[in-house]
Structure 1
Amino acid sequence: MVIDYIGNYMEGDAWEGLCDEWYRERYQSEGYQKIPSIAGGDAGIEGFTHTGIVYQCYCPERGYADNELYEHLRKKMTTDINKLIDGKYKERLISLGVPKIQEWHFVTPEYKDSKILIHAKNKTDLVLQKKADSPKDFDYIADNFKIIVKVAEDFKLEFTRLFRSKCSDVKLDLTLKNTSEIDWEKCDSEKAENIKRKVRAVMGNISVDDMNYKDIVRRYIEYYMRGREILSDLHVSFPRIYEEIQELESTCKNEVEIRTKMNVDKSINGKLFSELIKEFGDRLESEFDNLSFASVSELKQDMVGSWLADCSMEFR
């Protein structure tokens, strides 16, 4: 899910800015217009299109239990729908050039209780009943008006486009979704032996009983296993971003293979290893500057772990 990579609960202003980016990207051809919250108020909405879509965004202040989150979402939706059907807001909407409202979107990172959908339906019925009772007073509401609850996942395509075009300041954090402990002892024995052998070569054929050697081996086995999980999740969630990272990794892997296999001076193994890691990290950071610092660091070590585990990085 999108929120697994941007943080479940962002600050309200940041969430509002992100929603604006998504709506601008999706509805620009429909004359999307952002409404500043100053100079007369926003009339209970964040923005609108010339095709009759308006939206209001809301980000919870912190992580709530399912029912508690529902109550906060319910309260916010109720408050803003009450604004929508208030006569003084009608005049404000008209003055802003908002056309007859077909859809009212309630945009939040996620919801965990389907009762919010029932509440949205009840509020839709309320608005339509108001219009039926007083058509002239509610002529700014369409006959087919509806309230739609939208979440971050609904804007995955827009998020990917903005990320790759570098038109968004939001940084993708690949480490948020993978916080569980890795059982490195479950690593494939052949891969583990490759990592042990190559780490020893880099460290100058150090004793297998050396504690630093054991720690580095454990870390790279964990990097190798965690990297597989991260890329697998990324492949499902953001396939285009995954493909571009894989393309860069594949190019760098070929260079690593050639440079390590051509190196005949064992005394510079450590120096060469450090150079390769830095170069790959620099290229990741340069080409994917919308990745968080933690993501670049994680991906860098994960890829090195995979190069040690297979035949790409080969030290004598």
Structure 2
Amino acid sequence: MTEKEWLGEDWEEWCLLLMRRKYGADEIQRVPARHRGDLGIEAFTFSGHAFQCYATQGFPSVKERYEKQRDKLTVDLGKLISKKDELCKLLGSVKIKRYMFLVPVFESSQIVQHAATKTEECREHKLPHLHDDFRVVVVTDDDYADERRQILEQPRDLVVVAEPDESDIASWIGEHEALVEVANHKLSAIISNPIRRKEYLQSLITQHVFGNNTLSALRPRYPDQWESATRNIYRKERLLVLEHSIDGRPTSQNVTSIAKDLQRELEQNVPTLGEPFCRAIAWSAVADWLMRCPLEFYGEDHSESA
């Protein structure tokens, strides 16, 4: 099985999704690090489990992976000591019994030995926010196989979003005439037939509205999935010119390729969204890029005239 390369932020989101499935969304508290710094944990349960997620970048050797994981674990466990006052305020009456170090893969027994060594070091400090039976445990998502399967096989949608009808689309077009005209002008480079172009644009706007409605519905109920989806869209936009340089004789296949690429990335990184929502969100992003600057066509040839 080919090893997947995780971005750190995506691995964290995936781990937190597993933890919520394992312990219940109302039993786990996420700990954002943007304000007042990182405290060495990314979430904790009220029953005494603390979580730190870490994914090494690239595909390092076994030795390199171990060294990076060892150094990360050492630094973050050190914060349990150096930031004990802040952690006591954060945790309240909760005492950390298990410190779960979640990594995509570990292949060296030395990281387990290191975790055992650090366990004893932390216990020696008699920290008020650590349980007497405190222990560091190194795990992967394989250790949460049932939760992983439940998430990936989730039969129902996270949110229910009605597809926009003709009146919804007409209303949206009326409120965004300038943006629609920009998209229409750009599409004229690949679809010269005005009737076909109008139909294409109508379908594109339908997906745009549906995708936006989906994200809006996700945001209040599933903020982690919303954040991960929007982050993937933003990341794709930044790489748009590099990955999809559209010049010469552009065709609608270029647009389809971009949408399908983004859909695959969303399905991989935000698996709970499901295929229909990922497709709608991907096409919504493409429509947005057409109406703004990120997606442009060059050249005067029209590749579709029928």
Q: TM-score, normalised by structure 2?
A: 0.49
Normalised TM-score (structure 1): 0.48
